[in-house]
Chain A
């Protein structure tokens, strides 16, 4: 579904992390771990095609991909419903209705609230609802657990389980302080590149 060969990116002529090889198959959950600043976010952005690798290649054969970064892509001045309606129009809509998706992520009461009035956790939930609305075979999630309460963490685990059982796959990053999901997963450790002297 997603293949990376000797993937490397340089910033100021220094590699960010040691070359990465990755092969994501259907029904696989990959955890990208590493210390703060190791380059997890950079790696995910490379895999999403937002950055151009300095060396190596990324090949994505998944028909549709969703990316969830640190910047959630919500418009502050739009309500939860409006934000999700736009995402659904942009990415196409699956079987789930807008209302069901909002209920699923537990934002029923905040449905008509502008995104700027939401808490960080609620924003994250709103962004997660996008994953429910428009099915994609490949998810790239950057720290999906950040800002979420215990229920929210459960929600992410539920979403991941659903994704894997549908035959999709997911690559997510986590800095390790949060427990890995109760699902079989494979781990990719991002290591800081050895500094050239």
Chain B
């Protein structure tokens, strides 16, 4: 069996994302809109905003990720590309990893890069800014990896999108707790490395285990 799968697939998915950039941008614009509505909704008082800043930014990030997850495997499933990938004989876990990496690069990374701007909007304290960015940089890949399991499980179902969010949000709770706790500790001048360490550990665990779960879920969906 000659041929490769990881780099060609990554390249293909990035090219596809570029071709349909308006669709890719939607979750990001959603994120910006949601976060910018908060100062209007709860009032521009700096203290209140600073208190809820981390939670709002992280929850908006969760919502934006889940929005983009539904389409992760759908088009490949519908046009038969997924069958071709399975039959090609390449390890399906590697296929899954390439797809998730492509997803994170177009949906997760921009979110990390936008977060300082969001932090300013929400009047997050100076001390928390760096920690917020780090927590998002470590946390969003976990969101993509765990979400991809749900996406692979629901890809063959009608209206899988709603089910996907029900499946995935409970799994996101620990990350949300750790991330908000880290940022709040940092703004309060408390140690926060422990929480960040736990998120990093979660990332390593998700990175090593999730591809196999995604591969198994994809195989199930094809049957």
In the complex, residue of chain A having the shortest beta-carbon distance to the beta carbon of B3: A92
In the complex, residue of chain A having the shortest beta-carbon distance to the beta carbon of B222: A50
Contacts of A50 in B (CB 8 A): 83, 86-87, 222-223
- Are B79's CB and A73's CB within 8 A? yes
By the criterion of a CB under 8 Å from any partner CB, how many residues of chain B are at the interface?
Answer: 27
Contacts of B15 in A (CB 8 A): 78, 82
Contacts of A91 in B (CB 8 A): 2-3, 88
Q: Taking the complex as formed, is B90 at the interface, i.e. its CB lies under 8 A from any CB of chain A?
A: yes
Scoring B residues 2 to 25 as 1 if CB is less than 8 Å from chain A, else 0, what string do you get? 111100110010011001100000
Q: Taking the complex as formed, is B1 at the interface, i.e. its CB lies under 8 A from any CB of chain A?
A: yes
Scoring A residues 85 to 100 as 1 if CB is less than 8 Å from chain B, else 0, what string do you get? 0111111110000000
By the criterion of a CB under 8 Å from any partner CB, how many residues of chain A are at the interface?
Answer: 30
- Are B223's CB and A73's CB within 8 A? no
Scoring B residues 85 to 117 as 1 if CB is less than 8 Å from chain A, else 0, what string do you get? 111111000000000000000000000000000
Q: Among the listed B1, B84, B87, which residue makes an inter-chain contact with A92, where contact means beta carbons less than 8 Å apart?
A: B1
- Are A87's CB and B12's CB within 8 A? no
- Are A67's CB and B81's CB within 8 A? no
Scoring B residues 203 to 223 as 1 if CB is less than 8 Å from chain A, else 0, what string do you get? 000000000000000000011
Q: Among the listed B5, B16, B78, B223, which residue makes an inter-chain contact with A90, where contact means beta carbons less than 8 Å apart?
A: B5
Minimal beta-carbon separation of B24 from chain A (angstroms): 12
Contacts of A154 in B (CB 8 A): none
Please, how many angstroms separate the alpha-carbon atoms of A96 and B86 in the complex?
24
In the complex, residue of chain B having the shortest beta-carbon distance to the beta carbon of A134: B3
Q: Among the listed A49, A75, A76, A89, which residue makes an inter-chain contact with B4, where contact means beta carbons less than 8 Å apart?
A: A89
Q: Taking the complex as formed, is A71 at the interface, i.e. its CB lies under 8 A from any CB of chain B?
A: yes
Q: What secondary structure prevails in chain B residues at the interface with A?
A: helix
Please, how many angstroms separate the alpha-carbon atoms of A89 and B5 in the complex?
7
Q: Taking the complex as formed, is A72 at the interface, i.e. its CB lies under 8 A from any CB of chain B?
A: yes
**Can you report 10 A-B residue pairs in the complex whose CB atoms are below 8 A from each other?**
A50-B83, A51-B223, A71-B83, A75-B16, A87-B84, A88-B3, A90-B4, A90-B85, A91-B3, A134-B3
- Are B16's CB and A73's CB within 8 A? no
- Are A75's CB and B81's CB within 8 A? yes
- Are A73's CB and B81's CB within 8 A? yes
Q: Taking the complex as formed, is B80 at the interface, i.e. its CB lies under 8 A from any CB of chain A?
A: yes
Please, how many angstroms separate the alpha-carbon atoms of A67 and B4 in the complex?
18
Q: Taking the complex as formed, is A32 at the interface, i.e. its CB lies under 8 A from any CB of chain B?
A: no
Q: Taking the complex as formed, is A101 at the interface, i.e. its CB lies under 8 A from any CB of chain B?
A: no
Q: Taking the complex as formed, is A65 at the interface, i.e. its CB lies under 8 A from any CB of chain B?
A: yes
The 7 closest A-B pairs by CB, nearest first: A71-B80, A92-B2, A89-B8, A92-B3, A73-B80, A73-B84, A77-B19
Please, how many angstroms separate the alpha-carbon atoms of A63 and B15 in the complex?
31
Contacts of A134 in B (CB 8 A): 3
Minimal beta-carbon separation of B43 from chain A (angstroms): 44
- Are A72's CB and B1's CB within 8 A? no
Minimal beta-carbon separation of A59 from chain B (angstroms): 15
Which B residues, 44 to 85, have Cβ-Cβ distances below 8 Å to chain A?
A: 75, 78-81, 83-85
Please, how many angstroms separate the alpha-carbon atoms of A78 and B1 in the complex?
25
Given A50-B223, A91-B3, A78 contacting B84 (CB threshold 8 A): no
Minimal beta-carbon separation of B73 from chain A (angstroms): 13
Q: Taking the complex as formed, is A132 at the interface, i.e. its CB lies under 8 A from any CB of chain B?
A: no
Please, how many angstroms separate the alpha-carbon atoms of A69 and B77 in the complex?
12
- Are B1's CB and A90's CB within 8 A? no
Contacts of A64 in B (CB 8 A): 1, 89
- Are A89's CB and B3's CB within 8 A? yes
Contacts of B223 in A (CB 8 A): 50-52
Q: Taking the complex as formed, is A74 at the interface, i.e. its CB lies under 8 A from any CB of chain B?
A: yes
Contacts of B4 in A (CB 8 A): 89-90
Minimal beta-carbon separation of B39 from chain A (angstroms): 38
Please, how many angstroms separate the alpha-carbon atoms of A89 and B98 in the complex?
14
Contacts of B222 in A (CB 8 A): 50-51
